[in-house]
Chain A
Amino acid sequence: MIEPGLYHMLFISAALFFIGVFGFFTRRNLVTMLMSVELILNSVNLNFIAFNKYVWPDRLDGLFFTIFVIAIAAAEAAVAIAIIINLYRSHQSIDVENAEEMKY
């Protein structure tokens, strides 16, 4: 095993991103789709931190981007869960296949 560096971080980040994409494609339940989105956002954060640590350690910009992404992700999760609970109240289900009145 070699000493971990930038490419290891980027591999973890890319793998986590595509795990999230896979989950987003296969899941049909809104809560599990939200979980996949959280995985994708976390992979982006890890990318920012890795570049900040290994390529531009003289600045803190990547760290600030991560902080703002975390704040926006928290707001997004709260709004998404409010919408999911509202949808459950009107449809008794949070499956995306059952919520298609506005589709056509």
Chain B
Amino acid sequence: MSGSTFIFYLLAALTLVSGVLSVTTRMIFRAAIYLLFSLIGIAGIYFWLQYEFIAAVQIVVYVGGIVVLIIFSIFLTQQTGELLPKQKMGRQLFSALAAFCGLALVMLQLAQHAFTATSNKAIAPTVANIGNQMLGIGDRGFALPFEVVSILLLAAMIGCIVIALKSKPETTTT
């Protein structure tokens, strides 16, 4: 067993174990921290696959942005030191059963299907290649989705400000 394989299994275990802990722990702040470790594990898998740009984006956006946002909202909305209410046993049991059956179904389907890799020459996922294709307007260019996503981000930003705006006392009809 080579070192690379060992690192892969380590990253996979980190991702899955902290993912499970994140959805089962009853302390909400710990759930956020376990989510953080799960996302770091996924970024590590991207590094392992040698997609460094995606790994960097994952760390910057998810670990640096979304998890911090989630932790802020926990601080704003939860009483400290309070456990989440215990769920009904039946609900947990049936949810686990449904999730397990879904996983078994997906894995059975995957086991019956053979993926054949293309024999064409591979493109290195370097930042130069990604940038050229991202802003290209020719064949396989992604300039239009890029612009659409930037409009979407602008709309989401304005929407957030409007939703979270404190309404004035006289305009309570909103």
Contact = CB atoms under 8 A, between A and B. Distances in A.
A binds B: yes
Contacts of A83: 163
B45 A46 contact: yes
Nearest to B106: A14
A102 interface: no
Given A14-B103, A60-B130, A84-B77, A49 B49 contact: yes
Nearest to A10: B110
Q: Is the interface of B mostly helix, strand, loop or mixed?
A: helix
Contacts of A46: 42, 45
Contacts of A76: 156
Contacts, number: 219
Interface in B1-53: 1-2, 5-6, 8-9, 12, 15-16, 19-20, 22-24, 28, 31-32, 35, 38-39, 42, 45-46, 49, 51, 53
Given A16-B16, A74-B65, A49 B46 contact: yes
Contacts of A67: 54, 57, 134
Contacts of B164: 82, 85-86
B77 A85 contact: yes
B96 interface: yes
Given A10-B110, A49-B49, A58-B123, A26 B95 contact: yes
B137 interface: no
Given A7-B110, A46-B42, A58 B120 contact: yes
Interface string A70-101: 11111111110111111010000011000000
21 contacts: A1-B6, A2-B5, A12-B45, A15-B16, A16-B15, A23-B23, A29-B28, A29-B84, A31-B74, A34-B70, A36-B23, A49-B49, A53-B49, A54-B115, A54-B117, A56-B117, A59-B123, A60-B133, A71-B153, A81-B73, A82-B163
Interface of B: 1-2, 5-6, 8-9, 12, 15-16, 19-20, 22-24, 28, 31-32, 35, 38-39, 42, 45-46, 49, 51, 53-54, 57-58, 61-62, 65-66, 69-70, 72-74, 76-78, 84-85, 87, 91-92, 94-96, 98-100, 102-103, 106-107, 110, 115-118, 120-123, 125, 129-130, 133-134, 140, 142, 145, 149, 152-153, 156-157, 159-160, 163-164
